[in-house]
Structure 1
Amino acid sequence: MTHRFECHVYYEDTDLAGIVYYANYMKFIERARTEWVRTRGVDQVALKENEGIVFAVRRVEADYLHPAKFDDDLVVETKVDSMTGARITLQQDVLRDGELLFTSHVTLVAIGPNGSPARLPQELRRALH
């Protein structure tokens, strides 16, 4: 199942040429991941308070294919590639009018209160998968 998150390119997202600054794609996909988790009914604040679990990005592999520009309307598509006991790998793509501009594979790990990897509760795994 693919989650779609719409975003708009503002002046602050661009460089002097009016092209989206490369690091801002990380912001776009981060916002999309937050909304993906929220739409699955997961309250990340409650997860931290009740289970002591937070998500951390362990790895990002990204390809910049075509530039997004000032005033573009973009869609970030997020889908699960794989999930293990403590790790989730996602594919996140940024598109403009159906054209693929940016593609990434993001590995998230669940971190417990002591900073070590933690197992994802079964209920959480079901909600995200």
Structure 2
Amino acid sequence: MAHLFPLRVYYEDTDLAGIVYYANYLKFIERARTEWVRTLGVDQTALKREEGIVFAVRRVEADYLSPAHFDDELVVETTAEQVSGARIVLLQEVKRGGDVLFTSHVTLVALTETGHPTRLPANIRLLLH
């Protein structure tokens, strides 16, 4: 099931040409991932405190298809494509209306607080499917 995260483009998100600066798409999809996990009932602060587990981006593959502009209303659509013991692969698309402006595949990994790979708890893996 896809998670939808609405946002509006602010002046601070744009570059000299008046379009969304490329790196800001990474911020948009990060915010959407945080809200997606929250809506699933995963408290990342508690996960870190109680289990010593954090999520980290391992890989991002991104395609910039069409520009967004100041004041555009966008939606970030997040879909889990693959969930394994310690890894989550997501498809995240930034859309304006029915048009896909940006698409990405993001690989997240579960790490201990010391940066070592670890398995996701079974209850969290079930939530992500």
**Letter matched to residue 15 of structure 1:** D
Residue 101 (structure 1) shift: 0.2
Q: Which residue is 1:124 aligned to?
A: 124
Q: Percent identity at matched positions? A: 71
- Normalised by the length of structure 2, the TM-score is 0.99
**Structure-2 separation of matches of 1:12 and 1:98:** 24
Q: Which residue is 2:25 aligned to?
A: 25
Please list every run of 5 or more consecutive structure 1 residues that lacks an aligned counterpart in the other structure. Answer: none
Residue 25 (structure 1) shift: 0.1
**Structure-1 separation of matches of 2:120 and 2:68:** 35
Q: Secondary structure at the match of 1:38?
A: helix
Residue 114 (structure 1) shift: 2.4
Residue 113 (structure 1) shift: 2.6
Aligned pairs for 1:50-129 (under 5 A) are: 50-129=50-129
**Structure-2 separation of matches of 1:113 and 1:92:** 26
Alpha-carbon RMSD across the aligned residues, in angstroms, is 0.6
Give structure 1 regions of 4+ aligned residues with deviation exceeding 3 angstroms. Answer: none
Q: Secondary structure at the match of 1:37?
A: helix
Please list every run of 5 or more consecutive structure 2 residues that lacks an aligned counterpart in the other structure. Answer: none
**Letter matched to residue 78 of structure 1:** T
Equivalent residues, number:
129
